[in-house]
Amino acid sequence: MKIAILPGDGIGPEVTREAVAVLECLALPGLTLFEGDVGGIAYKRHGHPLPDETLDMARAADAILFGAVGDPTCDALERHLRPEQAILGLRKHLGLFANLRPARVFAGLEHLSPLRADIAASLDMLIVRELTGDVYFGAKGRRVSETGEHEGWDSMSYCDSEVRRIAHVAFRAAAAGGHLLTSVDKANVLETSQLWRDVVIEVAADYPAVELDHMYVDNAAMQVVSHPDRFGVVLTGNLFGDILSDLASAAVGSIGLLPSASLGERETAFGTFGLYEPIHGSAPDIAGQGKANPMATILSAAMMLRHSFGRDAEAGRIENAVSAALADGVLGGDLGGSHGTAAIGEAVRARL
């Protein structure tokens, strides 16, 4: 079972270290870890945010544990050399089109949410975000208009096969879970979204037990914090999913709590090949200070055990250890506590 560890920039290495220690604590036989450079650190060492040797290592692995990329000192670089291209490149090159971002308030931990406890208690949703299309990967550029204005432009598009395959992922999740699927779009304005909606309705015919609902993204943002009980599985595109998942993390309590799995179609000898990462970024404002909450990355490692290695029991043990630590008041600064990164990692391992 080969895992490529890609810590990246900022708090990436700090949170990844704790998740790796959790994996090592389980002492699973046959686990081999390799480490590679991605992001700003890779640009500085190798001249590219996603060097060939890192991509080769990722391809040769059964799963990838990713920290975060992003470095303010790289913001003036040409776009293709910026740290963020590492994660976008991995998703695209490895065909990881299905991004699962579960957001739930653990029972008894409603007080961590900024929402009223009775509202927070019902927050348990799986955001299924399309990850290799949309305005993220369309043509983009700069031009000077006829009136001499400088314009930046990006093109948003989805083709039906892209929508169909992510819709199947979401419908399967809804069929297996609570049977409620909300497709989030902006079909009242965007043609890309109208096609999205048409294809989702077509796919729904294969899943008669699933209750399908459509919601515009602006309304969805409002409902996530006012009526989270209205959501089970949320199916959405790349850009809307990016924004809604940060919003959902804040409703849970902190962005330091939300893990993710990015999956494609490739199966390995052990499960589905995937990349696992916290939904947060490199957090330059707290990097290097031992303040980052590593729980999102630890929970991402649990998702890896479940999806890529068929180790549901161990995944559940990690999730229980995290929720027990939170219940015992092991809180990082992001949750109003004073536990540092290493102390949180230690507390989770102690409960494991």
Ligand X SMILES: CC(C)[C@H](C(=O)O)[C@@H](O)C(=O)O
Ligand Y SMILES: NC(=O)c1ccc[n+]([C@@H]2O[C@H](COP(=O)([O-])OP(=O)(O)OC[C@H]3O[C@@H](n4cnc5c(N)ncnc54)[C@H](O)[C@@H]3O)[C@@H](O)[C@H]2O)c1
Catalytically active residues, by annotation = 136, 186, 218, 242, 246
Nearest distance in Å: CB 222, ligand X: 21
Cα-Cα-Cα-Cα torsion 243, 249, 253, 258, nearest 10 degrees, comes to: -150
Nearest distance in Å: CB 201, ligand X: 27
Q: Which stretch binds ligand Y (CB under 6 A): 45-53, 190-198, 215-223, 276-284?
A: 276-284
Is residue 150 left, alpha or beta, with left meaning phi > 0 and alpha meaning psi from -120 to 50?
beta
| Binding partner selected for residue 88 from ligand X, Mg ion, ligand Y, none, CB under the kind-specific 5 to 8 Å limit | ligand X
Query: Residue 79 or residue 143: which is nearer to ligand X going by CB?
Result: 79
**Of the residues 3, 87, 96, 217, which one makes contact with ligand Y according to CB under 6 A:** 87
279 contacts ligand X (rule: CB under 6 A): yes
130 contacts ligand X (rule: CB under 6 A): no
> Rounded to an integer, what distance in angstroms lies between the CA atom of residue 268 and that of residue 273?
6
**Of the residues 62, 84, 162, 319, which one makes contact with ligand Y according to CB under 6 A:** 84
Q: Which helix (H) or strand (E) holds 181?
A: strand 180-185
71 contacts ligand X (rule: CB under 6 A): no
Binding-site residue ranges: 91, 101, 129, 218, 242, 246, 281-293
DSSP state of 261: E
Residue 277 backbone dihedrals phi, psi, to 5 degrees? -155, 155
Tokens of 127: 């955001």
**Cβ neighbours of residue 201 closer than 8 Å, sequence gap 6 or more:** 212
Is residue 10 left, alpha or beta, with left meaning phi > 0 and alpha meaning psi from -120 to 50?
left
**CA atoms lying within 13 Å on the CB side of residue 104:** 13
Instruction: Give how many residues touch ligand X by CB under 6 A.
Output: 6
Query: Residue 196 or residue 276: which is nearer to ligand X going by CB?
Result: 276
Query: Residue 1 or residue 100: which is nearer to ligand X going by CB?
Result: 100
> Rounded to an integer, what distance in angstroms lies between the CA atom of residue 82 and that of residue 96?
20
> Rounded to an integer, what distance in angstroms lies between the CA atom of residue 65 and that of residue 325?
22
**Of the residues 103, 263, 283, 331, which one makes contact with ligand Y according to CB under 6 A:** 283
- Distance between first and last Cα of the chain: 21
Q: Are 295 and 256 in contact (CB under 8 A)?
A: yes
282 contacts ligand Y (rule: CB under 6 A): yes
Query: Residue 1 or residue 109: which is nearer to ligand Y going by CB?
Result: 109
Tokens of 153: 């432009």
**Of the residues 228, 281, 340, 345, which one makes contact with ligand Y according to CB under 6 A:** 281
285 contacts ligand Y (rule: CB under 6 A): yes
Nearest distance in Å: CB 9, ligand Y: 8
Name the residues that contact Mg ion, by CB under 5 A: 242
**Of the residues 62, 130, 277, 319, which one makes contact with ligand Y according to CB under 6 A:** 277
Nearest distance in Å: CB 328, ligand Y: 18
Q: Using CB atoms within 10 A of its CB, is residue 342 exposed (0-12), middle (13-18) or buried (19+)?
A: middle
Contact residues toward ligand Y (CB under 6 A) are: 11, 15, 68-70, 84, 87, 255-256, 277, 280-286, 292-293, 296, 332, 334
